[in-house]
Structure 1
Amino acid sequence: MKKSLALLTALVMAVGFTLSGCGDKKEDTSLADVKAKGELVMGLDDSFPPMGFRDEDQNIVGFDVDVAKEVASKLGVELKLQPIDWNSKEQELSTGNVDCLWNGFTKTEKREKEMNLSDPYMKNTQVVVVLADSDINNIADLAGKVVDVQSGSSAELAIDNMPDFKDSIKELVAISDNVKAMMDLGIAGADAVVMDEVVARYYMEKDPGTYRLLDESLADEEYVIGFEKNAQSLRDAVQTCLKELAEDGTLAEIATKWFGKDITTVK
C-alpha cells in the first residue's frame, strides 16, 4: 500500500513539473506585437547594394526594401528601416530592437539553430572580385595576397570554411561594409574582395570595365529572412505574403527592376 502511494505521489509530481514547464514557455505574440505598434522594423545593412543601400539622396532603397514594403502593406503596417551594425545583427534581433533581419541574409546551420528563418527566396554565390587588369586569375593566385571581406558576413564564414585557402593568403582584412571594401580594392589597398555575387555584379554594372569575377566561387548560398526563434506567427505571416507576391507577379516585377530578370525562388 505504501509502495503504491509512493508511486502515485511520484507520478503526480512528474505531471506537475511537466505542466509547470509548459506554463513557463514563452507565448508567441510576434505578429500581434507588430500589428499593435503598427510597424515592421526591418534590420538591414544600408551598404549592401542592390539588396539595401543608400542612393545619391541618402534614401535607403533596394530589392529587399521594395519587397519588404509590399509585405508590410499586406500586413497592414508601416515598414521601418533600421540600419544596424551587421556584425551585431544577432543581438539586435534577440533584444527586440528589430523584428527581422532582411538584407541579403544567408541561410546557415548556425542561424537555423539560433533563429526562425523564412523559406529561401533567392540563390547567391560567394565570389572573388578583382580589378579588371589584375594578374589574379584563380583562387590559387591569391596566395600571398591581401583579401578584404565584410565583417560578420557569410563571405567571412565561407573563407573560414576553407582553411587551406585562408592560410595561403597574406592577410584577411575584415571591413565594416562592402562599399568600403570595394573602395579599398579600387585604391589597391587589397588585391581582392570576397563578397556576394549579387553585390559584385551590381558594382560591375555600375562601373563597367573596372572589375571582374574569378570563375571559381567559394560557396553556394540562399537568402532568407531571419526572425527571433519564438516568432513563428510573424514568420508565417511574412512567408504567406511572399507567396502571394510571387503568385500575383509583384515579386517578379521587383526582381526585374533590380536584376533585369526574375531570379527569385519563392514557390
Structure 2
Amino acid sequence: MKKKIFILLSLLAFFSLTLAGCSGSQKSVAQEANTTDTWSHIKKRGRVIIGLDDTFVPMGFREKDGKLVGYDIDLAKAVFKQYGIKADFQPIDWNMKETELRNRTIDLIWNGYTITPARQKQLLFSRPYMANRQVLVTKTAEKITSFKGMAGKTLGVQTSSSGASLLDEHPTMLKNYIKGKTPVLYDSFNNALMDLDANRIQGLLIDSVYAGYYISKEKDPASYHVTAGGFDGEDFAVGMRKGDKTLKKKIDQGLQELANKGELQRINKKWFGNSDNSLIKPENKKKPLD
C-alpha cells in the first residue's frame, strides 16, 4: 500500500513539474515577444517573413496560376526593398495569426489587418495606412437595404475577423436580427461568397475593400447590394511583436518614403483605381531613411 502511495505521489509531482515547466515556457515565449527587438536578425538574414490569408482579395490572394498577388504584397515588397530586404509571404490559419507571430513562425501580420483595442493589448502596430469598414453584402434580389432587413435570415462572417468581433461587441446593430442570433463562420471570404451566391446565406459581413474589389470583377455587379450599416470605420496596419520597435520604425518610415516618392499612389491606383482609401499623404519635408 505504501509503495502504491509513493508511486502516486511521484506521478503527481512529475505532472506538477511538467505543468509548471509548460507554464514557464509559455511565459518565456510571451516575454521574449514583448522584449526582443529582431530588426538586426532580420537585416542579417536578408528577408522578413510575412503571415497572411492568401484568399483576401485584393490585399493578398492567388491568381488562377497560383501566383500570389495583391495590394499588401506590392506594398510590403516596396517597403522592404528600400532596406535591401526580401519580403517572403507565408499563408497561415487566420484564426492562429497572433499565435504564429508570438511563436516567431512569422515576423509580421500584413494582410488587411485591422487595429482593434483587443489586438493592441497583444501586439505593436505600424502607423495606419488604409481606411476600411465592415459592410453587409447581399444579393440585390433579396431586397435587403438595411441591417434590420436581415431579420430571421442567415449571416456569414469570417472566423476571427474584425467583422466577427464587431458583431459580438455590438449585438443590437445586426447580430440580434439574424437567424438564431448566430452567424455562420467561414475560414475564408471566398467560401462565404460562394454560399451567398447559392443562397445558403442571405448576407455576408465583410471588409469594404474586399467587397468593392470582388463585386467589380463579377460578371453582374448589379446583382449585389452593399449596405454600410452603422459600424464605425477601421484602419489597416501592420501587426508585429511588442518588442519589435525598430521594425515598426522602419516600416513607418518606409511607408512615408513611398508616399513622398509617389510609389504609394501608384500602388493604390493599380488596385483601387481612382478610389483613394490611403491614410498616408506625401510630406513637404522629406527625411532620408535611417
How would you bin the TM-score normalised by the shorter chain? 0.7 to 0.9
1:187 paired residue among 198, 218, 240: 198
Q: Which moved more, 1:208-217 or 1:77-86?
A: 208-217
- What's the counterpart of residue 21 of structure 1? none
- What's the counterpart of residue 131 of structure 2? 123
In 1, are the aligned partners of 2:135 and 2:229 still within 8 Å (CA)?
yes
> Cα deviations across residues 33-83 of structure 1 (Å, max 9, x unaligned)?
111211111111101101111111111100000000111211211110111
Q: Secondary structure at the match of 1:75?
A: coil
1:198 equivalent in alignment to 2:212:
no
Amino acid at match of 2:278: T
1:169 equivalent in alignment to 2:183:
no
| Cα displacement (A) at 1:168 | 2.3
- What's the counterpart of residue 11 of structure 1? none
Any residues of structure 2 matched to 1:91-130 within 5 Å, and which? 91-130=99-138
> Cα deviations across residues 215-251 of structure 1 (Å, max 9, x unaligned)?
4243310001000011101111111111100110000
Amino acid at match of 2:100: E
Q: Alignment RMSD, CA only?
A: 1.5
Q: Secondary structure at the match of 1:264?
A: coil
| Cα displacement (A) at 1:264 | 1.0
1:210 equivalent in alignment to 2:219:
no
1:234 equivalent in alignment to 2:247:
yes
* Larger fraction in strand: 1
| Cα displacement (A) at 1:27 | 5.6
| Alpha-carbon separation, structure 2, partners of 1:73 and 1:182 | 35
| Alpha-carbon separation, structure 1, partners of 2:256 and 2:280 | 6
In 2, are the aligned partners of 1:28 and 1:232 still within 8 Å (CA)?
no
| Cα displacement (A) at 1:210 | 2.6
- What's the counterpart of residue 278 of structure 2? 264
| Alpha-carbon separation, structure 2, partners of 1:27 and 1:213 | 43
- What's the counterpart of residue 250 of structure 1? 263
Q: Which moved more, 1:57-66 or 1:167-176?
A: 167-176
| Alpha-carbon separation, structure 2, partners of 1:166 and 1:29 | 41
> Cα deviations across residues 170-216 of structure 1 (Å, max 9, x unaligned)?
14111001111101101011000000000001111011223110242
Q: Secondary structure at the match of 1:195?
A: strand
Amino acid at match of 1:60: L
| Alpha-carbon separation, structure 2, partners of 1:76 and 1:227 | 20
TM-score (norm 1): 0.88
TM-score (norm 2): 0.81
| Alpha-carbon separation, structure 1, partners of 2:184 and 2:228 | 22
| Alpha-carbon separation, structure 1, partners of 2:211 and 2:161 | 14
| Cα displacement (A) at 1:108 | 0.5
1:66 paired residue among 74, 89, 99: 74
Q: Secondary structure at the match of 2:266?
A: helix
Aligned length: 244
Q: Secondary structure at the match of 2:264?
A: helix
| Alpha-carbon separation, structure 2, partners of 1:200 and 1:104 | 13
| Alpha-carbon separation, structure 1, partners of 2:239 and 2:229 | 29
Q: Which moved more, 1:250-259 or 1:164-173?
A: 164-173
